[in-house]
Amino acid sequence: MRNNKIVITVAVTGSIGDKSRHPALPVTPKEIADSAMEACSAGASVVHVHVRDPETAEPSMDFELYREVLQRIRNGSDMVINLTTGAGARIVPDDSNPVGLAPETTWSSPEKRTQHVVKLNPELCSLDVGSMNFGPRVFANTLEHVEEMARRVKAAGVKPELEVFDMGHIEIAKSLLKKGLVESPPIFQLCLGIAWGIPANSKNMLIMKESLPPDAIWAGFGVGPTSFPMVAQSALLGGNVRVGFEDNFYLNREIPAKSNAQLVEKTVNILTTLDKEPASPQEAREILHLIQPSL
């Protein structure tokens, strides 16, 4: 691994908010792909992909939307593509007695949550390994479902990025490794600052990092105003970084970012100050062990 090279992941659009939160939030497949490729030109080497209904801007699990985004990015860049499997984990209760599920619930089977990954065969996919209160709803990932998703993406030859929002999630990820459901070296994403996961601060990132398997490849990020402080902290601790509209809309506490690319540009400036450089997509593949390192 090149010690001064840092993989920048751009998470261009998540599953929260719409254009009322930010007018430049990518919604259509073209907007998502164009935003990813602009961010690549600014220094990002990996794109983390969610999709949205082009008409409503609501989060979607539509296979054709994933396919269009992936094809557009592959046709226009050599970025590493990381498709989410987080969609389909939302539980929102209604107020009946006994309590039922409200219409906003998306909780789905492991097969449904991974079908786009299996069919489209990206190099990476996210794998959320634990459950938590996620803002006003429950983010549900039962162990049986997580293990089945891990089996499916492994059989498809896709490397999972293990998303951990709290300390117990790291232990679940270790159990996947022990059972052979995830191959070494594992890739971890340390997700800090999401309500109600582990708070985003230097001490917590260090604790999480030191709890990872010795051969783990990892990145870290914070949300909102903690985004750029966690970029610096992750880089200083030897990790890779993630930024993007999924996590943060602002360049600082007062100025909204015009684009995902602008968030990446600030990230590159932080890394440069720390005497580090953004990895190219090819270098990212080597760092993440998606290909054998070149001689």
How confident is the model at residue 295, as a pLDDT? Answer: 45
Residue 225 DSSP one-character state = G
CA 249 to chain centre: 16
Indicate whether 238 pLDDT > 80. Answer: yes
How confident is the model at residue 203, as a pLDDT? Answer: 98
Indicate whether 67 pLDDT > 80. Answer: yes
Q: What span, in angstroms and rounded, lies between the C-alpha atoms of 150 and 219?
A: 20
Question: Which tokens hold the place of 105?
Answer: 């619930």
Per-domain residue ranges for the chain? Answer: 5-287
Sign of the Cα torsion 47, 166, 268, 274 reads negative
List pLDDT tens digits, range 18-42.
Answer: 788 888 999 999 999 999 999 999 9
Mean pLDDT of the chain: 94
How confident is the model at residue 54, as a pLDDT? Answer: 95
List pLDDT tens digits, range 179-211.
Answer: 999 999 999 999 999 989 999 999 999 999 999
Q: Is the pTM of this model over 0.75?
A: yes
CATH superfamily of 5-287: Aldolase class I (3.20.20.70)
How confident is the model at residue 209, as a pLDDT? Answer: 98
List pLDDT tens digits, range 110-122.
Answer: 999 999 999 999 9
Lowest mean pLDDT among 129-133, 139-143, 169-173, 291-295: 291-295
